[in-house]
Structures are given as structure tokens and as C-alpha cells.
Structure 1
Amino acid sequence: MTRIWRRTILTGLLAAVALGAFPAVATAQDTPAQDKGPATFGVRPATAQAPDNRPNFSFSATPGAVIKDHLAVANISTGPLSLKVYASDAFNTPDGGFDLLAAGHKPVDIGAWAKVDAETVEVPGRTTKIVPFTITIPADATPGDHVGGIVAALVTEATGSDGQRVAVEQRVGSRFYLRISGDLKPRLSIEGLTAQYSGGWFGSGETKISYTVRNSGNVRLGGKQKVTVETPWGSGTSAENLPDLPELLPNNTFAVTTTVKGILPAGWLDGLVHIDPVAPPGPQPQAEAIDASVTVVAVPWLLVILLAVVLLLVLFLRWRKRRRKNAPGPADPEPVVEVQSAVA
């Protein structure tokens, strides 16, 4: 029997912008088991009767609370579709994007608390079905933001380049933003700050700054960042076109690398990072700005060479002077002794 591999394809429609006035939509180009044409479907928040205008699911609750809501699943294609509906936890991708755990990964947070009334939904062509779901918050749930999403997924089969059968899951979803009451701690931290200077023998060079920003609090946060390289005499040069930090979910990280150009080799340089956190709308404590610094050696090779030449010249002149001083002078002439003799 041919081995079937599972591959998950995210259609990039979990972003809040795509879930605003229009539903999220996925199109499956090869769906022979479902329909001869492309299968197109989408999801959006809804009431018990019809889709509504919410861009996503946003809740505030206390530990132990139970939340009931609805998801609209729309089949935009002409043929019927059999779609899986499930919830999962969210995370930040390496580039700072928003994503949900793949279908094979078990959620442990809000994705595990949310249960749909029907895990598989049969949706006729050109039809929208309303799917109820319930979020049961544990009594010991921690305060702060818990983020996930609810998705509709279509599984089809295709043949891979190696001839094996491949199960392809195409999914679209709507985000969950749940804030549990309690002690809110909006906080970012900077980890692993490093700096490396590089430059030629003459003129200025550049300093590469790398660090990781962690959301070490319990509230989702973005941030405005500034990176500066300072010389020992206080002059500074900032990195140009440094983008803002993406919104980081609690305990998620984002790696930053930037290069500050036009830096003179001043012996040693200070790399400074400053971040002003940016919180989502709504009442919450103000997050404090954070700073970090690192020192890097920037050897001024031209100055070192000039000093070495001057030092060698001084040593040579001193050695030559000492040698002349200790050299023996010209020999003194022999004294002339006159001898007189008397003849009787």
C-alpha cells in the first residue's frame, strides 16, 4: 500500500485584515473526491442565525467561565464539501507572523478549551452553515491573553513528485483573543544581544547588532525599536529603516538583526537597543520601555600601524645614540721622551 504523507497548507487568511468585511477563503484546485471544479470555502464569526461583522473572536472572562459562540462556514463553490472544524493554539512564526498549530499537534491552551458541536460539517454548494462552539475556561487558568483560532479544513489527496500519495489539508480560520481577568503583566525583554564590528584598514566600517525580543509577560505586545552605536566620546549613529516589532504573543520570541553603517573604529563601541512596547487597544497597565547594551572592540588598525612605526623609530634612535656613546674614542699618541747624553 502506498504510504500517505500528511502536509498542511495554510492559505494565509488567518490575518485579522482578511477576516474583516470579507470572509476568509481557501480554494482547492484539485478536489476530485469533492467536486469537478475548484472547491472554495471560507469562515467568519457569526450569531446563531447568520454571519456578523466582527473581524475576529474577542472575549474577556474570568477563570471557570463558559463562553458560547458561533462560526459561519461558507461553501462558495457549486459542489458539496465535507469540512473538518476544530480549534487550536496560536504562535508566532520566525518572521513574526500569526499561525496555528498543525492539525497533528495537540493544543494545550485555548485550542484545547474550545469544542465545536460538530467536528465534521457537510456544506452544500453555495450554502453557509452556522457551527456552534463552546469555550470552557479552567478554574486555574492564568490571567492575561490566551490566543488561538478556529478553522475549517478540507483534506484532499494528490500524488507527490516521488509518486507517493499525499494528503493535503487546506484550512482557513478566524482568530481567538481571550483575556482572562487578573494580574496583567505587559512586559518585553531582550535576550542574546551581540555586536560585531567589521571594516577595512582605512575609513569607517559597520556594526552588526543581533538580539532576540521575548514577550515575557502575559499580554500580547508589539513595539517600536531603536538601535544605536556610540563611540567612547559620545557620538552615536542609529540603524536606518528599522521596522517596528510585530505583535508577540505571551512567551513568544522574535529575532532581530540589523547593521549600523558609517562607524569609525574608535577602539571600543557600545551597541544600544531601546524598545517602547505597544499594547493592543483597551485598558491595561502601561508596559515599561526596555534597554540593553553590549560593547564590541573596533580596532583602529591605521592608528595602530602609525603608532607602531613611531615607536620603532624612537627605539631605533635611542639605540643608535646609546651605541655611539659607548663606542671607544681615538687612541692617544705615545709620549716622546728625549734622551740627552754627555760626553766627557
Structure 2
Amino acid sequence: MTSTPPTRTLLTALLTCLLVLFAGPTVHASVQDTGGKGRSTFGVQPSGPKKPDRRSDFSYSVTPGAAVWDHIAVLNHSARPLTLKVYASDAFNTTDGGFDLLAEGVRSKDAGSWIRTARSRVVIPARSRAVVPFTLTVPAGVAPGDHAAGLVASLASSRPDGKGDRVALEQRVGARVHIRVAGELKPGLAVQDVRATYHGTANPFGTGSATVSYTVRNTGNIRLGARGTVRFANSLSGPLRAPGVETIKELLPGNSVRVTATVRGLFPAVRSTATVNLDAIPVGGDIDPALPSATGSAGFWTVPWALLALLVLAAGLTVALVRRRRRRRPRGAAPGARGPGAGPRPPPDTAHPEQEP
């Protein structure tokens, strides 16, 4: 008797979690059904009590202790019924600045825990939709500022892998939920952990490149974007601006993003400096005044190893030539000795003191 291959779980949040990253108000996902029933396509959209509306996300301005009632539409575009889970989850920034949600089963501690859907699972007929009410209850003692979450519809499925095992898949789509709690707003950005490295060249008189990486952290209580510039300088090179530094579109409070930038044409001058300047930019039409800026820098070694090697080689050749010339002198010959045929040495010019009578 043969045993059934074990089922292995595959977390697919990065592959299938689409969180309103484009302009359209509806977010869709599709997956090929391995049971031969065709492709399953479904989506989510902010909605009124009867039908979807034109909002691109859920955005609320609330006070501590407030409650909000709203709806999300879950749409089935497939030719067969679908059973979907519906739940809320905390949002966070990925390391590259993307917007993502906690994996299913991970407990939410912020805005995701404030949302309760009327149904946790819905069965939607083919080419139909279900409108699911939900309640947002803001805790009384919550900190002011921005809090982010997502409302998710997910489909569980499975497929075989190359080893014959069944791989469990979860495909998710979600709509963003942005909540601003009334109170003192404190925008803040910080540049942290700046590290720079020089990449030299084999040309003793050439230039190399330098790479800097740094962390941008939102230290305030509202979501912000950030536009940065990176410059490198030393005693031989004026400020060189690194090209292609991407603008951070949205950074949630308390979250951080790692950024890397590279510049070419930097002369090695033993010691150089990389300086990062950041300007905050508003997100989602915010008009908060006095948006902050931030600066960070790091010194790093830019040693001209190729030039030093050339100088060492030149010094070694000079020493070798001097030693060779010394070895060619006749043995016993003192410095300044005259060779054969040089003629008599002139008498020394000596003075004769007068004798006393």
C-alpha cells in the first residue's frame, strides 16, 4: 500500500496579495484551478449597502472611541461559485517600500484589530457579488495620527508540485484602509545607519564608484512620502550627486525602508563622505504644514590602491637600479678613486706658516 504524499503549505502573500496599487477602484486576482474548472477570478471594492461605489480605498478621519459602519463588495468573475474568506489585517511597509498586510493567522495589533466583518466567509455565485458590512471601532485610548490596515478576500486552493506533493495556496486581494485619529500630528523622518563603500579601478589615475545604503524611518505619527538626494565628496572630487534615487511614495508611521544609491566618477582621495538629504512630501492630498527634512552622512575610505601599487613598484625599481650600479664598481675602489691614465694627482693646496725668528 502506498502512502499519500504530505501536503505542504506555501505562503503566497507576495505573489497574490494585491492592495489597490493602481488607480482603479476594484482590485482583482485570478488563479488557474487545478481541478479543471477553469480560472477563478475575484476582486474587492469599497461599497455602499447595495452596490460598489467609486472609492479607491477606505479613508476615515475619526476621534478616539468612535465607531464607523461601512461595506466592502466581494466580486466573483468566475464561471463557478467561490467560497472566500473575508477579514482585516494590519498593514506595513515591505523593505522596498511596498504596502503589504500580515499573513493570515498573524494577530493584528493595530487598525486591523479594530475591524469586524459581519461575515468571515462568503459563498458567491458565478459572476455575482456579495456586499459584506463591517464595523470599525476605534479604541478610546488610541494614539493620534495615521493607522493603516487592509480588508482582504482570500481563496484557498492547492496544486501539485514537481515532487508529487500537494501545495496549499492562499490567494488574496485587499483594499487599503487608512484611519486618521484626531489629535496632535507630528510628522517626522530620520536617516539612519548610513553605510558607504568604495569600488576602485585598476587605472592608477582613474576614478571609481561608490555605493551608499541607508534607512529611511518614519518617526512621526502620520504617513509621509520622501524625496531624497545623495551626494559624495572628498578633497579631489566636488559634490557628485547619485542618479536614480527613487522617491518613497508612502511610508507608514514607525515603518522604515532601506535605500541604496551608487555614483560613478569619484576620485580616490583616501577619505570621502556620503551625505543623504531627505525632504518629506505629503501623501494622499494631505496639506499638513511644516513637513520635516532629515540629513545623514558617513565617512568611508577611498584609498587609491592602484596608484599606491604603482608608487611602490617605482620605488622598488629605483632601489634595484641603485644597488645594481653599486655592484658594478671595482672591488677595493673607494668613492672618488682615479683610474689608470688619469695622470698625476695635483699637489694639495697647503699653506706654509711663517717661522718665527
Please tell me whether residue 244 in structure 1 is matched to residue 241 in structure 2: no
Q: CA deviation at 1:94?
A: 2.0
Map 1:132-151 onto structure 2 (within 5 A): 132-151=133-152
Q: CA deviation at 1:299?
A: 2.5
Give the TM-score taking structure 2 as reference length.
0.81
Distance 1:233 1:9 in 2: 50
Cα displacement string for residues 262-310 of structure 1 (whole angstroms, at most 9, x for unaligned residues):
0111232111111111121223242211111111222345378659949
Structure 2 equivalent of residue 5 of structure 1: 8
Distance 2:257 2:73 in 1: 33
Q: CA deviation at 1:31?
A: 5.7
Identify which range, 231-240 or 193-202, moves more after superposition: 231-240
- Structure 1 residues 5 and 44, CA gap change in structure 2 (3 angstroms): same
Distance 1:79 1:267 in 2: 68
Structure 2 equivalent of residue 291 of structure 1: 295
Please tell me whether residue 81 in structure 1 is matched to residue 82 in structure 2: yes
Structure 2 equivalent of residue 258 of structure 1: 261
Contact 1:16 1:55 in 2 (8 A): no
Query: What SS class does the counterpart of residue 112 from structure 2 fall into?
Result: helix
Q: Which consecutive residues of structure 2, in runs of 5 or more, have no partner in the other structure?
A: 327-333, 338-344, 349-357
Distance 2:309 2:125 in 1: 79
- Structure 1 residues 267 and 157, CA gap change in structure 2 (3 angstroms): closer
Contact 1:184 1:285 in 2 (8 A): no
Structure 1 equivalent of residue 208 of structure 2: 205
Q: How many equivalent residue pairs?
A: 317
* RMSD of Structure 2 on Structure 1 (CA): 2.7
Give the TM-score taking structure 1 as reference length.
0.84
Q: CA deviation at 1:246?
A: 3.6
Contact 1:89 1:110 in 2 (8 A): yes
Distance 1:163 1:31 in 2: 14
Map 1:21-170 onto structure 2 (within 5 A): 21=25, 23-30=26-33, 32=35, 36-170=37-171
Distance 1:85 1:174 in 2: 11
Q: Which consecutive residues of structure 1, in runs of 5 or more, have no partner in the other structure?
A: 321-325, 334-344
Identify which range, 73-82 or 83-92, moves more after superposition: 73-82
Structure 2 equivalent of residue 267 of structure 1: 270
Distance 1:31 1:74 in 2: 21
Structure 2 equivalent of residue 341 of structure 1: none
Q: CA deviation at 1:12?
A: 4.8
Amino acid aligned to 2:256 = T
Distance 1:298 1:166 in 2: 50
Please tell me whether residue 183 in structure 1 is matched to residue 184 in structure 2: yes
Distance 2:142 2:49 in 1: 27
Structure 2 equivalent of residue 323 of structure 1: none
Q: Following TM superposition, where does structure 1 have runs of at least 4 consecutive aligned residues deviating by more than 4 angstroms?
A: 303-310, 326-330
Contact 1:185 1:285 in 2 (8 A): no
Distance 1:74 1:294 in 2: 51
- Structure 1 residues 297 and 156, CA gap change in structure 2 (3 angstroms): closer
Cα displacement string for residues 178-225 of structure 1 (whole angstroms, at most 9, x for unaligned residues):
111112121111111111222133311111111111112111111111
Q: CA deviation at 1:104?
A: 2.2
Distance 2:336 2:11 in 1: 94
Percent of residue pairs identical = 43
